[in-house]
Chains A and B, each alone.
Chain A
Amino acid sequence: MQRIGVFVCWCGTNIAGTVDVVKVAQTLANEPGVVFSADYQYMCSQAGQDMIKEAVKKHKLTGLVICSCSPRMHEATFRKTAAAAGLNPYMVEIANIREQCSWVHKEMPIGTEKAIILGKAAVAKVNLNAPLTPGESPVTKRALVIGGGIAGIQTALDIADAGFPVDIVEKLPTIGGKMAQLDKTFPTLDCAACILTPKMVDAGQHEKIRIFSYSEVTDIGGFVGNFHVTIKKKARYVREDLCTGCGLCTEKCPQKKVPNEFNLGMDTRRAIYIPFAQAVPKIAAIDEDYCTMLKTGKCGVCAKVCTAGAIDYKQQDEYITVDYGAIVAATGYNPISMDKFDEFAYSQSKDVITSLEFERLTNAAGPTAGKLLRPSDGKHPHTIVFVQCVGSRCSGADKGKEYCSKICCMYTAKHAMLTRDKYPDTDVYVFYIDVRTPGKNFDEFYRRAVEEYGVHYIKGMVGKVTPDGDKLVVQASDLLAGKQMKIDADLVVLAAAIEPDKSARPLATLLTASMDTNDFFTEAHPKLRPVESPTAGVFLSGTCQGPKDIPETVSQAGAAASKVIGLLAKDKLMGNPCVAHSDEMMCNGCSSCEKVCPYGAITYADKEYRMPDRTTKVRRVAVVNEAVCQGCGCCTVACPSGAMDLKGFASAQIMAEVDAICK
């Protein structure tokens, strides 16, 4: 039997104004197990806490009920008080008689009655409380960043600068991501490569950063502080330790007709290639789908010209396993496919392009060396139509995305402005539904495109694009003028919606991290924990969490890094002791709990049991990993045999509370 002390707080008039605190204390004194009961003006004050400590000693209390504000407010305070008085901190229960009682009731009798009931429930629960001790687990002081775009690079740099080793796993042969493909960045118009490539070099040279390029994560085990990750280093048929990145092989390779994905297929590269001049690491890779030597065994030109002897046609995929304390997902985005938007004639005409293709067409390192030329005939376009919201803000149909892709309004304004700046003889039209420019200097930027550069912004959508000779007939609405218009355009640029990279969904499965219906990673709290996944030890950086521009991505990358640093700085992790545990004798190994666990905390083990007849039997039983369990209680509901229970919130305790309330 517990010896319980009840402490009723007035909270000035906050509680005492609508609750007769003296009557509450007197009534609760008669509850089973209660040996001491008192009220005080401010229980959380030093004097109030001292009063609790003295009562614990004097009356040899084993459990405490504090009738006060929400546990969110002061549960931690009173747990510390209990610990200081020599009690286990989990022998404290809070009855919330402020937010859930005095603040919502106006009349003293009603408030008092409810406060007594809430107090009785807490007493009933404490009677069944048992001391709990949080588990401890060590922390591997190394972080993994999955994805080597600007988000991953910035996160890795920030973690490494704090002194912790970081590995970046990038699926392509170089880091840099989408930002490396961009020309200029809004709203300042600084050159993307000029601000990104120094960061890529910093990451490549940082003594705390390892880059696994042309690699993928294939398996993740363990839990927060103790992840075991298998990384597949895809065969690039070039030895990383020998290649100097001189590029001779990429000039001599006779296979010249490989679509160059860095320029979105608008020009070609060789079968052995370095994606772009500033690649990090600057190491060639052989594309096995196109290499004549790998396919037929006849060629070997690259091996002959390589003075470093780095070519190795027999190279195999290599798997390595590394331990990490924290994992950051930074898998980024892609523009959606235009296949389902026949009305814009993307598949019919080379001169209908996406905005990312437009970036390459205006980039000095792009297929046209920065001259804006039509892909079909290499002529300078004189009339350009930009179409916004292509595939964004769609609903119901199986094409497009329901969300706003966020970045298109600004990059379209940038494209339109830069075109008018470089080629003032060009007519530029932008069809928009809404122009969304929330951001520092964003609306000013858009207005400049209209007012200073004379870009024609038309409120309305394009209905269809019809190729006609060397022209593209654009039929569109001008909603403000109330007319349907036709424009003979030379080039049409589609602001395609963006979607999470296809690698995100399988990665989320490996991480047991949750995703929304659009395959964006879900954050632990949309307002207050925006860079953490609900899965402990997993953090989110960049567009894998939702559409965002470069400044936002960099801020979020830094925020994710600070959370990782906070985790890695700890020597040991204190767990939450209110976790699930399974009564092995009742568990029938049905897997119901494992299926509902959002955190992947439950596994199964075959254990030997002595049976009453002295035989031994092997049974499959659930095992909860207490470091991973977040104490949500899903499993306790799913368990058909009642074997699963939550420490600190056991079914018996909850039922005792309900009984006390209903009595």
Chain B
Amino acid sequence: MAERNNMKEQILRTSGVNPLKCMRCGKCSATCPAYDEMEYHPHQFVYMVETGDIEPLLNSESFYKCLTCFACVDRCPRSVEPAKLVEAARLMVIREQGKNRLKPDDIPAQLDEDMPQQLLVSALRKYSK
């Protein structure tokens, strides 16, 4: 139970989303272009995080199917921002798997001319605590 609460807290903190704002209209799932690819759908993500039922979510492929197109964020009438929950869940999994493999010291060796700076920034955001 403590573990469950921990995961919920971490997702809420990373995403800044308050799932209690959801009024369960389903507009996020109505608008999602990847709906058919998913086992759990955007409105279910929100509800599962709200109830702390996060384990099945993490064990499912569903949240890797999210294209981060932000249609749900744009159209949600309650400003819940479901895509941010999805992103937070992805980050949590990556971090739990210990894939903090990007260390600042290693960066110079990895640099090449064609690499956009933005990639480094997002890589650090994803892989480093």
Contact = CB atoms under 8 A, between A and B. Distances in A.
Contacts of B24: 433, 479
Interface stretch (B3-11, B30-38, B48-56, B109-117): B30-38
Contact of B30 (A393, A396, A400, A484): A484
Interface in B13-60: 21, 23-32, 35-36, 41, 43
B102 interface: no
B77 A400 contact: yes
A479 B78 CA distance: 17
A385 to B, nearest CB: 12
B79 A477 contact: no
Given A396-B78, A433-B23, A463 B43 contact: no
B75 interface: yes
Contacts of A389: 25, 77
B77 A397 contact: yes
A395 B26 CA distance: 15
B124 interface: no
B71 interface: yes
Contacts of A484: 29-30, 32, 35-36, 41
A496 to B, nearest CB: 13
A343 interface: yes
Interface in A471-489: 475-477, 479, 482, 484
B23 A463 contact: no
Contact of A462 (B28, B30, B36, B78): B30
A477 B43 contact: yes
A460 interface: yes
Contact of A460 (B21, B30, B77): B30
A463 B32 contact: yes
A515 interface: no
Contacts of A476: 30
Contacts of A460: 25-26, 29-30
Interface string A318-342: 0000000000000000000000000
A316 B114 CA distance: 72
Interface string A459-472: 11111100000000
A463 B25 contact: no
Given A464-B31, A479-B43, A393 B23 contact: yes
Nearest to B76: A397
A464 B25 CA distance: 14
A394 interface: yes
A389 B32 CA distance: 19
B19 to A, nearest CB: 13
A397 B28 CA distance: 15
A393 B77 CA distance: 7
A433 B31 contact: no
Contacts of B27: 461-463, 477
B128 to A, nearest CB: 31
B105 to A, nearest CB: 42
A488 to B, nearest CB: 16
Nearest to B81: A396
B77 A477 contact: no
Contacts of A433: 23-26
B31 A479 contact: no
A340 B79 CA distance: 15
A464 B31 CA distance: 6
Contacts of A400: 77
Contact of B75 (A459, A463, A482): A463
Nearest to A396: B79
Contacts of B71: 463-464
Contacts of A395: 21, 77-79
A343 B31 CA distance: 9
A112 to B, nearest CB: 48
Contacts of A464: 30-31, 71, 75
A461 B82 CA distance: 15
Contact of A463 (B21, B29, B78, B79): B29
Interface string B75-91: 11111000000000000
Contacts of B36: 484
A396 B75 CA distance: 12
A477 B78 contact: no
A482 B27 CA distance: 13
A477 to B, nearest CB: 3
A487 B36 CA distance: 16
A343 B24 CA distance: 19
A475 B77 CA distance: 16
Nearest to B35: A484
Nearest to A462: B30
Given A343-B75, A463-B31, A484-B35, A477 B21 contact: no
Between A343, A400, A463, A482, the greatest number of chain B beta carbons within 10 A of the residue's beta carbon is seen for A463
B25 A397 contact: no
Interface in A419-474: 433, 459-464
A484 B37 CA distance: 11
Contacts of B29: 460, 463, 477, 479, 484
A166 B76 CA distance: 47
Interface string A401-434: 0000000000000000000000000000000010
A479 B26 contact: yes
A461 B42 CA distance: 13
Q: Which 4 A-B pairs have the closest CB atoms?
A: A396-B79, A463-B30, A463-B31, A477-B26
27 contacts: A343-B31, A389-B77, A394-B78, A395-B79, A396-B78, A397-B76, A400-B77, A433-B24, A433-B25, A459-B26, A461-B25, A461-B26, A462-B27, A462-B30, A463-B30, A463-B31, A463-B71, A463-B75, A464-B71, A475-B30, A475-B31, A477-B30, A479-B26, A479-B43, A482-B41, A484-B29, A484-B41
Given A393-B23, A395-B79, A463-B71, 9 more contacts: A389-B25, A393-B78, A433-B23, A460-B26, A461-B30, A462-B30, A463-B29, A464-B30, A479-B24
Interface of B: 21, 23-32, 35-36, 41, 43, 71, 74-79
